[in-house]
Amino acid sequence: MATSSLIDLEARWPDLAALLHDAGPEQLVTRLAACPDRHERHTCFRFVIRKLGVDPKAATCLDAMIAIGDAAIESALATAERFPEERVKWTDEANCTCGSLASNLADCWSDGVHREMRHFEAGLRFAERALDLRRILGKPAGPFAMAHWAQGKHLLSLHRYGEAVEAFALALRYEESLADQASPGGASHGTATEGMLLAAGFLGLARQRQGDAEGQTVFLAATQSLERKMRESEEARQDAGFYLAQLRAAAALN
């Protein structure tokens, strides 16, 4: 695989997809790992993960994505060890891959693909590994909010409601920290961002599933606030609508 340009990778995708279908993910990993240039290699890994995860055609796409994702993460971490002067870059590559995989495996995207428990277990593993890597890298609040949201989402799907409540509460705390950084005191003065409302909505849903009657009130307050935000501007409509769709899909499934 001589080039990593998006156009070239898109042109090669039918051959890569055929290899995956005919020989399985192990052979595709072998093909990708054979690229001698580390930058090209990981660009190819990212491309394949995106193709399998963003618009999966079946649960088998997610299974293949997990296997290829595991290989991509280990390759990035091995590259970090091999090139100490690039350790942060390649550790972050592993971190970003973990985050993408955890997100892709969540069941709130309305993509028509039925996830099994094994997908949520893998998604939880990727989310928790992302959290570990983000601690190592000293990431700010935003990446932690996203990783705790993914952690909570998979715990919710696994019916581990008490742990999901804890994860979503942490996601909300990080979202409030982000809001305060953007506007000091904003989070404590009732100016909820879309990210805060998403985390609060999922926290309410997890509390409801745990048996806490107040959870339904929290969930409805978050969804109603997102509905109001959709009327503020076109940008707000798109952002709030995206989060609202996630909450409604999760409520229907979980």
Question: pLDDT of the chain along its 254 residues, tens only?
Answer: 444 565 688 998 999 999 999 999 999 999 999 999 999 999 999 999 999 987 777 788 999 999 999 999 999 999 999 999 999 999 999 999 999 999 999 999 988 899 999 999 999 999 999 999 999 999 999 999 999 999 999 999 999 999 999 999 999 999 999 998 877 765 554 578 999 999 999 999 999 999 999 999 999 999 999 999 999 888 878 889 999 999 999 999 88
Side-chain-side CA neighbours of residue 201 (13 Å): 25
Does 106 share its domain with 192?
A: no
Supply the pTM of this predicted model. Answer: 0.92
**Residue 193 belongs to what domain range?**
161-254
Does 177 share its domain with 237?
A: yes
Sign of the CA dihedral with 33 first, then 34, 37, and 43 last: negative
Domain boundary among 108, 139, 170: 139
CA–CA separation, 88 vs 3, rounded Å?
24
- The structural domain count of the chain equals 2
Does 42 share its domain with 116?
A: yes
Does 123 share its domain with 10?
A: yes
